[in-house]
Amino acid sequence: MLSSQVSDNKRIAKNTILLYLRLLFSMAVSLYTSRVILNTLGIIDYGIYNVVGGIVSMFIFLNSAMVTSTQRYLTFELGKGNMQRLKEVFSSSIYIHVAISLAVVLLTETIGMWFFYEKMVIPSERMTAAMWVFQLSILNMVISIMSAPYTSAIVAHEHMGAFAVISIAEVLLKLLIVYLLVIGNVDKLILFAILCASVQLLIRFLYTYYCHRYFTETRHVYKPDKLLIKEMGSFAGWNIWGNLAAMLYGTGLNMLLNVFFGPVVNAARGVAVQVETAVANFSANFLMAVNPQITKLYAQGNLKEMHTLLFRASKFTCFLLFALSLPILLETETILSLWLKVVPDYTVPFLRLLLFIVIIDSVSRPLMTSAAATGNVKVYQSVIGGILLTIVPIAYIVLRYGGSPVSVYVVHLSVAVVAFITRLLIIRPMIHLSISEYVRKVILKCTLVCCVSFVLSFTFKTVIPSGVLWSLLTCMFSFIMVLGTTYVLGLTRSERAFVRTKCVSIIHRVI
């Protein structure tokens, strides 16, 4: 048992490193491409692309729920070692995703089209280009939906190296998109939408090819198992409620900002979300490596080890995100000014609030994975989804009574805190989790590290001169402070010993 746990920990560490290498490369290119795209398209067209594409993404909650279901069932059967059942799960997921693709096309070409013409605030001279973006976004969505069973198989098998290689190819193609966008003599917005769809299609084939080569269950689509489809569909059905809420507080808030304030504020939101997404991806990559192990441990009935992994995943996610977020929180204006030539209004407060939201949501994701591992998500999704669905109507009321654009994310942050507490209370009996132990090992540790490192870093910022170089020094100091307080206050004695051993090992290799 001990050797198995060590092997699993090594696999998690290896997969995390591979995913982080992929992410660092992707972020470096994304920071450059985002700036060029914003400057090439202009604030209005960038805002149009962001909000029109958001209409289509409103319906992604249908697919997101099924992705969670597919990953859960594939990972669970791998944990059980039932290969025949694994093949049946994958084949059933293909049939379900075909049905979802048809449903998304139907909804976007009816409800989505109505919203596009009746509710969107788009300059009349850009309506044709916006329609191109709308239709190509639908194509992107269908491609993404049909890719989901294959990416789910890669996650379940923990072949994270495949994500690293294919993502590098995708990033290189996005660099090509930027080059073609700059030199192109046609409508820039239409060209950008066409190029993005082309890249999405190519990446879809790469994932499919990899899965066909390495995973036997993906090579053939067998006759559908109606009972299994019903079971997976039921699991996904309850997840739809939670994903519907996620869609509404993401796309829904974006639509509210457009209706009340126009596409310029959408551009500010788009920039802020891009930075927030880049930060969130660091935790997402770590959790992508951890989540399959949480599900497999539950499938094997090893709840004690599952709880230990859950605590560490939540705690390390907080430390990682705060180490990345604190420099941005302290030097938001300087960072955005250096990154972008033109910083849309409201970008700074949007970004700061979104960073707090993503930390809270990311820390709770191991709890979500634990709930999904049980297969019984009816109560969890109905309650949490109901709480999150209140974000948009509350934000609407606030805006109707004169609230500023920033107020919608204040509402979002407040509801996120309530949802986190509720998640913990619901999951406790599902996996026999001790709340007092979670509070002691996760919440108190995270609060202590964040508060101490913030006070030290903010004090440092207030006593040094202003200027770009001093801002860079503040970023470095705050990052080091989070790492230092994490080591001293956030880690257990055994975790500190592990870190020391690894650091010594790395130094010896270098020397």
pLDDT tens-digit profile of 59-70?
666 666 677 778
Reported as a single tens digit per residue, the pLDDT across 189-245 is 888 888 888 888 898 889 888 988 888 888 777 777 788 888 787 777 777 777 777
Of 66-80, 140-154, 325-339, minimum mean pLDDT range: 66-80
Reported as a single tens digit per residue, the pLDDT across 314-366 is 998 899 889 989 999 998 888 888 877 777 888 888 899 999 998 998 888 88
Residues 147, 206: contact at Cβ < 8 Å?
no
Chain Cα centroid distance, residue 12: 19
**Rounded mean pLDDT, 96-107:** 85
Of 7-21, 314-328, 373-387, 397-411, minimum mean pLDDT range: 7-21
Report the share of the chain in percent with pLDDT over 90: 14
pLDDT of residue 91 exceeding 60: yes
**Rounded mean pLDDT, 126-147:** 85
The predicted pLDDT at position 87 comes to 84
Q: Is 377 helix (H, G, I), strand (E, B) or coil?
A: coil
Stronger pLDDT, 425 or 160, i.e. the higher one: 425
The predicted pLDDT at position 2 comes to 44
Counted residue by residue, the chain has a size of: 511
Reported as a single tens digit per residue, the pLDDT across 281-325 is 777 777 777 788 888 888 888 888 889 889 988 998 899 889 989
Of 77-81, 169-173, 191-195, 265-269, minimum mean pLDDT range: 77-81
The predicted pLDDT at position 234 comes to 76
Stronger pLDDT, 372 or 245, i.e. the higher one: 372
Residues 178, 203: contact at Cβ < 8 Å?
no
Token look-up 């790469």 returns: 206
The predicted pLDDT at position 508 comes to 61
Q: What does the H/E/C string look like for 167-187?
A: HHHHHHHHHHHHHHHHHCCCC
Q: Is 406 helix (H, G, I), strand (E, B) or coil?
A: coil
Chain Cα centroid distance, residue 297: 24
User: Distance between terminal CA atoms of the chain?
Assistant: 35
**Rounded mean pLDDT, 104-133:** 83
Tokens representing residue 445 in the block: 């540790």
Distance CA 141, CA 135 (A): 10
**Rounded mean pLDDT, 113-142:** 83
The predicted pLDDT at position 437 comes to 92
Stronger pLDDT, 453 or 256, i.e. the higher one: 453
Taking all residues of the chain, what is their mean pLDDT, rounded to a whole number? 82
Residues 327, 475: contact at Cβ < 8 Å?
yes
Residues 270, 127: contact at Cβ < 8 Å?
no
Tokens representing residue 226 in the block: 């109606």
The predicted pLDDT at position 17 comes to 65
Task: Taking the CA atoms of 505, 287, 142 and 180 in sequence, report the sign of the dihedral they define.
Answer: negative
pLDDT of residue 6 exceeding 60: no
pLDDT of residue 488 exceeding 60: yes
Q: Is 364 helix (H, G, I), strand (E, B) or coil?
A: coil
Of 84-98, 121-135, 221-235, 451-465, minimum mean pLDDT range: 221-235
**Rounded mean pLDDT, 114-130:** 81
Chain Cα centroid distance, residue 396: 25
pLDDT of residue 150 exceeding 80: yes
The predicted pLDDT at position 449 comes to 94
The predicted pLDDT at position 509 comes to 60
Query: What's the maximum distance between 2 C-alpha atoms anywhere in the chain?
Result: 69
The residues, any chain, with a CB within 8 Å of residue 501's CB and separated by 6 or more, are none
Could you tell me if residue 82 is left (phi over 0), alpha (psi between -120 and 50 degrees) or otherwise beta?
beta
Distance CA 101, CA 103 (A): 5
The predicted pLDDT at position 228 comes to 82
The predicted pLDDT at position 72 comes to 80
Reported as a single tens digit per residue, the pLDDT across 157-202 is 877 778 778 878 888 888 888 888 888 778 888 888 888 888 888 9
Distance CA 338, CA 188 (A): 24
Residues 197, 136: contact at Cβ < 8 Å?
yes
Nearest in space to 352 (alpha carbons), one of 329, 324, 318: 329
Distance CA 185, CA 208 (A): 34
